[in-house]
Amino acid sequence: AQSVSQHNHHVILSEAASLELGCNYSYGGTVNLFWYVQYPGQHLQLLLKYFSGDPLVKGIKGFEAEFIKSKFSFNLRKPSVQWSDTAEYFCAVGSLGTYKYIFGTGTRLKVLA
Amino acid sequence: GAGVSQTPSNKVTEKGKYVELRCDPISGHTALYWYRQSLGQGPEFLIYFQGTGAADDSGLPNDRFFAVRPEGSVSTLKIQRTERGDSAVYLCASSTGGQETQYFGPGTRLLVL
Residues B42-76: tens digit of each pLDDT: 999 999 999 899 889 999 999 999 999 999 999 99
User: Tens digits of per-residue pLDDT, B67-111?
Assistant: 999 999 999 999 999 999 999 999 999 999 877 889 999 999 999
Q: In the predicted model, what is the mean pLDDT of chain A?
A: 93
> Between B43, B105, B106, which is nearest A103 by CB?
B43
Scanning every residue of chain A, which has its alpha carbon at the shortest distance from the alpha carbon of B105?
A: A43
Per-residue model confidence (pLDDT) at position A100:
87
With beta carbons under 8 A apart, name residues in chain A contacting B33: 99-100
Is B102 in contact with A98 (Cβ distance < 8 A)? no
Picking from A37, A44, A43, the residue whose alpha carbon sits closest to that of residue A61 is: A37
**pLDDT confidence band for A1 (50 / 70 / 90):** confident
Distances (CA, A) of A7 to A11, A111, B52: 10, 18, 38
**3-state secondary structure (DSSP) of residue A18:** coil
Residue A7's nearest CA partner among A109, A107, A88 is A107
Residue B1 has pLDDT above 60, yes or no: no
Q: What is the pLDDT of residues A64-110, one digit of tens each?
A: 999 999 999 999 999 999 999 999 999 999 987 778 899 999 999 99
